[in-house]
Structure 1
């Protein structure tokens, strides 16, 4: 892997190590300001909504201002918003800074993902994005431990610590990344040969649709797993152990992405396999009653998650025209913003009205539908676009 890939992966891990404050935003709103659960949920949803234009702005600014400037701007904006939340003395101030945090939160992603796409060839993108996913998983494991320590002291210090990691990343990348070239496109080309319009690409729209459902499933796991454990008579806090097991699985299984037989799979086949593994794992949650059963199911769906996240960003980058990777990755990434808003609603409503078994059986069925869609719909569209690694139409 080129140096710039390792640099971005390391920075992402450090940044993720500090990203433990967001799950406690609703707790802070409820405890420090006496807000109702409904109000706290609405403010969290407002943050999620703000991440949607943030992702699109990240792709636009990367093309206009340059990738390094956009990355530094996003990280610095996150740090300032986090400090604002930490020192806020009213619910209105917290709401303003939460929205500002959302607007800065996703600026980092399109330019960093675009840099990786340009730094490696198509054959190495699966490994490169797999490393990025592993960095997020590893950082998330440490983040939970730090949150447990600081959270016992004062929840506001979680936001201060998060701000410090954002600033550390901003300063490091400001001096370590290549300088932006004035008057040139974000990918180093002498301007874009023509305007980039991601939403006109049928293949990208199909990937976006399936990606939104995948993101919804991923975030539902985060939201619903602690509640599921409580319904089954286990401690909700044991979900932290399961999430750590997921992270360890994703990191430990990275070498599998380099296996010749797996790497040679067409993109649509690899994505379908990933969704099928997720279906198998999530189906295991439906009858599970003890922690060992939940642990085994977690390992299985985590392997599927590894396959999907390691492959999908490379597919999106290959769809983009020269110089358009930032815009394409930004457009695709909006799927996570939509899922951030929808997941808390779908997870809690299905769990409340249908129960644990129906929630996880239904989620597994959704993953199987995604697997079929990759082979029957997405693959042919990518093939029609003349992209490599696609299933022929």
Structure 2
């Protein structure tokens, strides 16, 4: 790291991150329509979107092992190529290159999405671990929130690239865009420098070479060692991830409830994403200067308030205001999950701890939409949105009680 430019080491990660996210953003809106093109029911098509999250959840532990053994740089590169391979598999299935029955084509398509999810686990974990080491703790939150901003930028731009190629080649164009973007990200990742390997302190006489490589801590032993953090701050992370995962469904669903045109609904959703994106760097700056707690609590409180206001909106103006509150609240916490994970991760087992951290985050991502769907079926959409807002409020309370106040790492004693 450079003393005069503490974020210099982070810059080389941002470009591949943004490009990779463009690829993910390009294929995401096309997943369900592609599944229906194979003859899948609407329910199966909707479930196809969760395959990426399931793949990520399953691959967290192997990704941690790979990063610990091969290093973060190599894990980033290998994961990006794996993501490109998964997108290529989905592209081949949708384009009909395989000459197989529709059921087999759908299975290959689902396999491709699952591989994309697995690759995302390694790519996300390794770049987070890389920044935790490469950037000084005084600038960690800014580095992580800017990383979150590159992800948001890619996910915002990706659907437009996918739509452009779809206008030329139909539905396969979205997966072509995803494949090319992920491959480009893999190529760009080759420019990332290796992290320095810590050596003995100056003046320390050389000792005998160790007989064997020290055993790496297991996820189970780390979970026991850090159970208090995982059972408090980790639970709040689950709440945050669940609320975030549902917001992408809440806005379009309530727009439909209000009878808005697809164009109006898309415009509101786009404004929400823009508000989210604009908050990325300011949230990191505030985290570094005022502390993690003020940002984490404000993020979940704002997100919960915005969600709670959505069912109360009866026309476009109020709905847009509520949606903007959701976007601002979510954006205010850009990078907070990654920053907290880096704060609590022990240097001797950083990738393994981050895998545990991502397991909790991924669990929330999967649980949020499931909760929204279940409550909607039982009590209606408005009640379901209020329940999710309550989950966000619960997370804010846990953050307020568990995180220390003031600037600095959250791992210090409060």
Equivalent residue, structure 2, for 1:163: 179
Which of 140, 147, 163 in structure 2 is aligned with 1:125? 140
Residues 13 and 139 in structure 1, CA contact (< 8 A), matched pair in contact too: yes
Instruction: After TM superposition, give the deviation of residue 113 of structure 1 in Å.
Output: 0.5
Equivalent residue, structure 1, for 2:79: 74
Which of 256, 268, 272 in structure 2 is aligned with 1:246? 272
Equivalent residue, structure 2, for 1:274: 299
Instruction: Report matched runs for 1:118-157 at 5 Å.
Output: 118-152=133-167, 153-157=169-173
Which of 100, 111, 115 in structure 2 is aligned with 1:96? 111
Residues 64 and 351 in structure 2, CA contact (< 8 A), matched pair in contact too: yes
Q: Does residue 349 of structure 2 align to residue 324 of structure 1? A: yes
TM-score normalised by the chain length of structure 2: 0.82
Aligned length: 380
Residues 245 and 299 in structure 1, CA contact (< 8 A), matched pair in contact too: yes
TM-score normalised by the chain length of structure 1: 0.86
Question: 1:207/1:231 Cα in 2 relative to 1: closer, same or farther (>3 Å)?
Answer: same
Q: Does residue 369 of structure 2 align to residue 364 of structure 1? A: no
Residues 122 and 314 in structure 1, CA contact (< 8 A), matched pair in contact too: no
Equivalent residue, structure 2, for 1:224: 250
Residues 55 and 109 in structure 1, CA contact (< 8 A), matched pair in contact too: no
Instruction: After TM superposition, give the deviation of residue 193 of structure 1 in Å.
Output: 8.7
Residues 31 and 49 in structure 2, CA contact (< 8 A), matched pair in contact too: yes
Tell which structure's C-alpha radius of gyration is larger: 2
Q: Distance in 2 between matches of 1:306 and 1:208?
A: 20
Which of 61, 66, 76 in structure 2 is aligned with 1:61? 66
Equivalent residue, structure 2, for 1:187: none
Q: Distance in 2 between matches of 1:133 and 1:294?
A: 26
Q: Does residue 228 of structure 2 align to residue 206 of structure 1? A: no
Which of 115, 124, 127 in structure 2 is aligned with 1:109? 124
Q: Distance in 2 between matches of 1:340 and 1:312?
A: 13
Instruction: Report matched runs for 1:174-189 at 5 Å.
Output: 174=190, 176-179=191-194
Q: What per-residue deviation string (whole Å, max 9, x for no partner) do you get for residues 164-184 of structure 1?
A: 11111111111x112477999
Aligned to 2:314, what secondary structure does the other structure show? coil
Aligned to 1:35, what secondary structure does the other structure show? coil
Structure 2 unaligned residues grouped into runs of 5+ = 1-5, 94-99, 200-209
* Pairwise CA RMSD: 2.9
Q: Distance in 1 between matches of 2:400 and 2:359?
A: 23
Residues 300 and 392 in structure 2, CA contact (< 8 A), matched pair in contact too: yes
Q: Distance in 1 between matches of 2:198 and 2:83?
A: 27
Q: Does residue 44 of structure 2 align to residue 39 of structure 1? A: yes
Instruction: After TM superposition, give the deviation of residue 62 of structure 1 in Å.
Output: 0.6
Q: Distance in 2 between matches of 1:104 and 1:220?
A: 23
Q: Distance in 2 between matches of 1:209 and 1:192?
A: 31
Q: Distance in 2 between matches of 1:254 and 1:40?
A: 32
Q: Distance in 1 between matches of 2:291 and 2:412?
A: 6
Aligned to 2:347, what secondary structure does the other structure show? coil
Question: 1:149/1:199 Cα in 2 relative to 1: closer, same or farther (>3 Å)?
Answer: same
Q: Distance in 2 between matches of 1:21 and 1:192?
A: 42
Q: Distance in 1 between matches of 2:58 and 2:271?
A: 33
Instruction: After TM superposition, give the deviation of residue 64 of structure 1 in Å.
Output: 0.6
Q: Distance in 2 between matches of 1:76 and 1:206?
A: 36
Q: Which moved more, 1:303-312 or 1:51-60?
A: 303-312
Instruction: After TM superposition, give the deviation of residue 8 of structure 1 in Å.
Output: 1.2
Q: Distance in 1 between matches of 2:118 and 2:281?
A: 35
Q: Distance in 1 between matches of 2:281 and 2:45?
A: 41
